[in-house]
Chains A and B, each alone.
Chain A
Amino acid sequence: MIRFRDVTKHYPRSGTALGEVSFHVRKGEFVFLTGPSGAGKTTVLRLVHMEIAPTKGDVMVSRFSSSRIRRREIPQLRRRVGFVFQDFRLLERFTAEENVAFVLQVTGASRSEIKPKVHRLLDHVGLAPRATAYPNELSGGERQRVAIARALATDPLVLLADEPTGNLDERASIGVFELVRRVNGLGTAVIFATHDATLLRRYQDVRVLELERGRLVYDSGTDAAVRPPLRRAPGAPIFELLDEKAAASRAGEGAGPTA
């Protein structure tokens, strides 16, 4: 359903953010997209969302191809691709339910279907009791749930989550992850960008795409039966590697200022 074919992306002022990346995410699949900061995770998601176009290659999402899509078709694509941000981006002057209803209003839902649908969505993300709370009255985890409900309002085929747990503590992260996983269980494909080692270690059954400096360096594969162990050929499993990095940076701090 989402297919990258030799996708290269140059940003005018910072050079190559992605180089010849190819992969395929099937309908209803769940994928972790990982890699260090600056590796190109957000760039991949923005390409899927068609906020940017590839410099070379082609991004195919459902029936839309980045090389053929017309400007006025992009709204249709966006309704099929939900997007969740690390910083939530809720509208502060709207309550939780108004934030969700807003999306339905602006995408042309009929008045009568909005109210029950908002309720269903908030119920689904476990926030029905807080429906009339304003974002600043909600915890980070709760805000992210509202953001997820909002992203699901257009019944997307795929949910893109850009480090959705980046601002959350471990418990809230796991809560949000489990929610996204449940959403996936109902048929929505998910690309979950994260460099949260805890999540990666905890959910080893999830397919992992790993980027490094704009290259796709690892794909654990789609088929659970033949999935290779979560290890970087020929090195250590990814989460250990991440842990090592974290340990190294902690050690660096412990050793005092470094050059």
Chain B
Amino acid sequence: MRPFREALTSLVRHPVLAVLSVTSIGLSLFVVGLFGLTAHNIASALSNVEEKVEIVAYLSDEIGEARVRLTRSEIGSFPEVLSVRYVSKTEALYNASRELTEFSDVFPDLDVNPLPASLEIRLRAGHRGPEAVSAVASRISAYDFVEDVRFGRDWVNRIHTLRRIAGGAAVILGGSFALVAMLLVGTTVRMSIHARSSEIAIMENVGATAGFIQRPFLVEGLMTGLLGGILALALTYGAYRLLDRAVLEVLWMPDGWTLAGILTGGLLGMLAAGRSVRRELRSLYAI
């Protein structure tokens, strides 16, 4: 209990610095939070489209039923492949006439079915990234009766890149903010140590343990950081509500992320405090 009381006293003693410290940690984690929100939304959008990602292999008209069956089971046994569906020429025409209603009158009049048969291949989760998709696609296109292979390579690539950029920006921006925040927290803790120098001298004189002397300052850093984390959470949530209402449907982050954010704040605060404690109280019981 004592370390918490002492830490509170310290924070109250330098209110301006305390507010600055909390705010700076809050802002740095807010930056991370915004990017986290973005990344989470991109990721969930991606996983929606990725589920639909199919490699479509168009087959030559010359291929016989038996070859098709064999090939289908061969492809089906690729480790990345979830399922393979055969779409015959007739089915393709039927689908097309249903989807393209404007032309529905045209299709029954056709003498020859112009649409090729195809295999629609779905991949297992974890093999839906751009590299995996094109690897499987190129293996399939190696069959000589496969005329063409289609997959959404370009936009899959682009979304993945976007996600990586968002992550990188979060790390760089949030990281530099966090650095400034840690400097501020460190300074605040240093001021607290100085404000208590006469008490520390007495404690050292009468034999309080080093841990006992140092603990309140570490707790001060921890509390500053946790408060900053909570502030960041509030700001991020505010931003989320604003976006959700004004712009588009936005998903909130998983609870684990918000908890991790607050704990990160606490950790940053404690690390910063630890650095100040190590420096300022270096000579504690040194002879």
- Total interface residues in chain B, CB < 8 Å: 18
The docked-state distance in angstroms from the alpha carbon of A78 to that of B198 is: 17
- Given A78-B205, A103-B202, answer yes or no on A50-B210 (Cβ-Cβ < 8 Å): no
Pick from B202, B205, B207, B213 the residue with the most CB of A within 10 Å.
B207
Task: Please give the distance in Å from A192's CB to the nearest CB on chain B.
Answer: 18
**Min CB gap A103→B, angstroms:** 5
Q: Which residues of B contact A49 (CB under 8 A)?
A: 205
Q: Mark A62-75, 1 if CB is under 8 A from B, else 0.
A: 00001001011011
Partner of B208, one of A53, A66, A75, A89: A75
Is A83 an interface position by the 8 A CB rule? yes
Contact of A107 among B199, B207, B210 (CB under 8 A): B207
Q: Quick one: given A91-B198, A91-B199, are A106 and B285 in contact (CB under 8 Å)?
A: no
Q: Is the CB of A75 within 8 A of B209?
A: yes
Q: Are B206 and A78 in contact (CB under 8 A)?
A: yes
Q: Is the CB–CB distance between A71 and B206 below 8 Å? A: no
CB of B80 to closest CB in A, whole Å: 58
In the assembly, what is the distance between CA of A75 and CA of B201, in Å?
Answer: 13
Whether A51 contacts B207 by the Cβ 8 Å rule is: no
Q: Which residue in chain B gives the minimum CB-CB distance to A154?
A: B206
Could you tell me which residues of chain A, from 62 to 101, have a CB within 8 Å of some CB in chain B?
Answer: 66, 69, 71-72, 74-79, 82-83, 89, 91
Residues of B within 8 Å of A136, CB to CB, are none
A105 interface contact, C-beta 8 A: yes
Bound: A154/B203 CA distance, A: 12
Q: Which residues of A contact B2 (CB under 8 A)?
A: 105
Q: Which of B198, B203, B207, B213 contacts A89 (CB 8 A)?
A: B198
CA–CA, A66 and B287, complex, Å: 9
A218 close to chain B: CB less than 8 A = no
**B residues less than 8 Å from A69 (CB atoms):** 287
* A86 vs B208: C-alpha distance when bound (angstroms): 22
Mark A105-142 against chain B: 1 for CB-CB distance below 8 A, else 0. Answer: 11110000000000000000000000000000000000
Asked whether B212 is an interface residue with its Cβ less than 8 Å from the other chain, the reply is: yes
Complex interface: chain A residues within 8 A of B205 (CB): 49, 78, 83
Residue B247 is within 8 A (CB to CB) of chain A in the complex:
no
Is chain B's binding surface mostly helix, strand, loop or mixed? helix
CB-CB under 8 A from B201, the residues of chain A are: 89
A29 CB to closest chain B CB, in angstroms? 22
- On whether the beta carbons of B207 and A78 are closer than 8 Å, the reply is yes
B110 within 8 A of A: no
**Nearest CB of A to B209, in Å:** 5
Residue of chain A at shortest CB distance from B211: A72
Report the minimal beta-carbon distance from B99 to chain A, rounded to whole angstroms.
78
Instruction: Tell me if B248 counts as interface (CB < 8 A to partner A).
Output: no
Knowing A89-B198, A89-B201, A91-B199, say if A50 contacts B287 (CB, 8 Å).
yes
Q: Decide if B206 touches A77 in the complex (CB within 8 Å).
A: no
> How distant is A55 from chain B, measured CB to nearest CB, in Å?
12
**Given contact pairs A107-B207, A154-B207, A75 touches B285 in the complex (Cβ within 8 A):** yes
- Contact, CB under 8 Å: A74 / B206: no
Q: Give the chain B neighbours of A71 by CB distance below 8 A.
A: 210, 285-287
B206-A107 in contact (CB<8A)? yes
**A103–B206 CB distance below 8 A:** yes
Identify which of A52, A53, A82, A91 contacts B202 (C-beta below 8 A).
Answer: A91
Beyond A50-B287, A52-B287, whether A75 also contacts B210 by CB under 8 A is yes
In the complex, the answer to whether A77 meets B202 with C-beta atoms within 8 Å is no
Asked if A102 CB lies within 8 Å of chain B CBs, one says yes
Instruction: Give the nearest-CB partner of B212 in chain A.
Output: A106
* A106/B208 contact (C-beta < 8 A), A89-B198, A89-B202, A91-B198 known: yes
CB-based nearest B residue for A74 = B285
Say yes or no: A75-B207 contact (C-beta < 8 A), given A50-B287, A51-B287: yes
Q: Is A153 an interface residue when CB atoms closer than 8 A count as contact? A: yes
B contact set with A: CB distance below 8 Å:
2, 198-199, 201-210, 212-213, 285-287
A-B contact pairs, 29 of them (CB 8 A): A50-B287, A52-B287, A66-B287, A71-B210, A72-B209, A74-B207, A75-B207, A75-B208, A75-B209, A75-B210, A75-B285, A76-B207, A77-B207, A78-B205, A79-B207, A83-B206, A89-B198, A89-B202, A91-B202, A102-B202, A103-B202, A105-B2, A106-B202, A106-B203, A106-B208, A106-B213, A107-B207, A108-B212, A151-B206
Q: Top 5 nearest A-B pairs by Cβ distance?
A: A78-B207, A106-B208, A75-B207, A79-B207, A53-B287
Extra pairs beyond A66-B287, A82-B206, A103-B206 (20, CB < 8 Å): A49-B205, A69-B287, A71-B285, A71-B286, A72-B210, A72-B285, A74-B287, A75-B207, A75-B208, A75-B285, A78-B204, A89-B201, A91-B198, A102-B199, A105-B2, A106-B203, A106-B212, A106-B213, A153-B206, A154-B206
